[in-house]
Structure 1
Amino acid sequence: MWIIELTFTANDERLAARPAHRRLLEQLHGEGVVRLAGPLADDSGAVIVLDVADRDAVDRLIAADPYFTTPGVSVAKIRQWEPFLS
């Protein structure tokens, strides 16, 4: 699995782009690709947990979602995660 950590700034473009981004995440959740996703409680960023084979798959997902390059959204970290409980 992989964790994408996002950071946000107060930018109206980010807020306008969020509904389409969430629809895509919901679709990917239905396909089993996105396991968990959501904003941090203070809305300073978000966490997305992906169940994909490798970093290339993560990069393709990021490239396919314009939200990740919307002003006000930054990918802070991408980390591989190996949970032992689910």
Structure 2
Amino acid sequence: MWIVELAFTDAPERLAARPAHRQLLTALHADGIVRMSGPLADDSGAVLVFDVPDRAALDRLLAQDPYYSTPGVRVVGAREWTPFLT
């Protein structure tokens, strides 16, 4: 699995792009690809957990969703995660 951390600014483009982004995340969740996602409590960013085999697969998913390159959204990091309880 991979944990992706986002940072947000107040750019209005981010809020305009969010509904389509959430719709895509919902579909990926139904397919078992997104395990969980959501904004941080202070809305300064978000954390997403993807169940994909490698970084290349993660990068392809991130490239398919224009939200990750929208003004006001920055991918802070992506780290491989090996949970022992799910």
Please indicate the TM-score interval, normalised by the length of the shorter structure. Answer: over 0.9
Shift >2 Å, 4+ stretches: none
Matched, 1:59 2:59: yes
Q: TM-score, normalised by structure 1?
A: 0.99
Shift of residue 44, structure 1, vs aligned partner: 0.2
TM-score by length of 2: 0.99
How many residue pairs are counted as aligned between the two chains?
86
Supply the distance in 1 between the matched residues of 2:52 and 2:63 (Cα, whole angstroms): 15
| Cα distance between partner residues in 2 of 1:75 and 1:55 | 14
RMSD: 0.3
Q: Which residue of 2 aligns with 1:74?
A: 74
Deviation at 1:76, TM superposition (A): 0.1
Identity score, percent: 66
Aligned mates of 2:53, 2:77 — CA distance in 1: 18
> Letter of the aligned partner of 1:45 in structure 2?
G
Alpha-carbon displacement from aligned partner over 1:11-45 (angstroms, at most 9, x marks no partner): 11000000000000000000000000000000000
Letter matched to residue 53 of structure 2? A
Which residue of 1 is the match for residue 32 of structure 2?
32
List gaps (5 residues or longer) in structure 2: none
